[in-house]
Homo-oligomer: A and B are copies of this chain.
Amino acid sequence: MAGNSFGTLFNVTTFGESHGPAIGGVIDGCPAGITLDLDKIQMELNRRKPGQSAIVTQRKEPDVVVFYSGIFEGKTTGTPIGFAIHNTNQKSNDYGHIKDSYRPSHADYVYDQKYGFRDYRGGGRSSARETASRVVAGAIAKQFLSGLKISAFVSAVGPLKMETHYQELNFETIEKNPVRCADPVMAEQMEAYIREIRKEGDTVGGVITCVIQNVPVGLGEPAFDKLHAELGKAMLSINAVKGFEYGSGFAGSQMKGSQHNDPYNTDGTTQSNRSGGIQGGISNGMDIYFNVAFKPVATVMQAQDTIDNKGQKVVMEGKGRHDPCVVPRAVPIVEAMAALVLADFKLLSRTNKK
């Protein structure tokens, strides 16, 4: 194993480079008997795919998933689900300029150091294209988790930050704007800002908030595999993520215990939810919510000083079609990774009692 698998019971292994023949994966441990809506899976992929709006990369990749196994007469069979997304847009000659040079704040240099060489076409394995396979697996996990509702949305783009509490938002608005912000007014400001950034040939970071509702009590394991620890790992494993906080998060570290504690109602629910739906690493039935911080995309359309693989200084300028801001397309990835974590713990929770 070299880190390309995720999950203990509901497990996905992904493969594929940005500009190879195909990316894809295998889901092992998906329970039998789930009636799969394949269109919904493709719809999730469409939410992630390039070219979907004016503020994302204009690369053309249809990103159509094909399933090879594990589904029979519309239902999962309990055997591994193999799938692939064929790469249709392999213009690898576009990438000659990065063959021997190291793009700043990309993984080119460390791959060369770690492996001795690298597949330099489009970032190879380090490309965020790998996350398309996660979206497929997550979309299946979501269908296993019917009843739970996982809603991610953009809550900040650069300095523009949504301040409204998630309970006051209408999640129906998320897919109605290209930013995937849950506040329509803020969405327009963010969109305008991203357009401006792109005009500058620059990029900008952002924050995605995710809310999970209708979670049963008891998901997550004590000690190392706390529910929020796995969610944190899942989110931090997404390209460009720099931080994760759940419930009261970093702000909670400034509070006093008397302010921070969540008093119980007599039915076991809590009056406040600074715990973020998780106590001692285990879901308590309240909403789980967390924030994920994304750095700005490293590929800027400006000349940058850098070095080549002989340690010589070179000047490099971003080519091709890149995202000025990654968060709108990262929303379905955050949801997919959350779904994978929850599906795994849902299965695991069946083994807690004799």
Contacts and interface: CB of A to CB of B under 8 A. Distances in A.
Contacts of A20: 68-69
A153 interface: no
A243 to B, nearest CB: 3
A165 interface: no
A256 B203 contact: yes
A2 to B, nearest CB: 5
Interface string A2-24: 11111111010111110011111
B77 A125 contact: yes
A236 interface: yes
A226 B236 contact: yes
A205 B82 contact: no
B281 A218 contact: no
A46 interface: no
Interface string A279-314: 111111000000101111111101011110001110
A226 B131 CA distance: 14
A233 B231 CA distance: 8
A84 B107 contact: no
Interface in A239-263: 239, 242-250, 252-263
A253 B245 contact: no
A151 interface: no
Contact of A350 (B115, B229, B351): B351
B354 A79 contact: no
Interface string A143-160: 010000000000010110
A126 interface: yes
Interface stretch (A30-38, A47-55, A166-174, A175-183): A30-38
B68 A223 contact: no
A25 B67 CA distance: 13
Interface in A45-97: 66-70, 72-73, 75-82, 84
Given A1-B28, A313-B266, A300 B258 contact: yes
A110 B205 contact: no
Given A26-B13, A109-B284, A2 B78 contact: yes
A212 to B, nearest CB: 16
A339 to B, nearest CB: 15
Given A3-B281, A21-B66, 10 more contacts: A2-B29, A15-B68, A33-B353, A105-B279, A106-B280, A113-B284, A203-B257, A224-B234, A224-B237, A263-B304
9 contacts: A13-B13, A33-B115, A82-B84, A105-B274, A106-B279, A109-B279, A250-B250, A263-B304, A274-B295
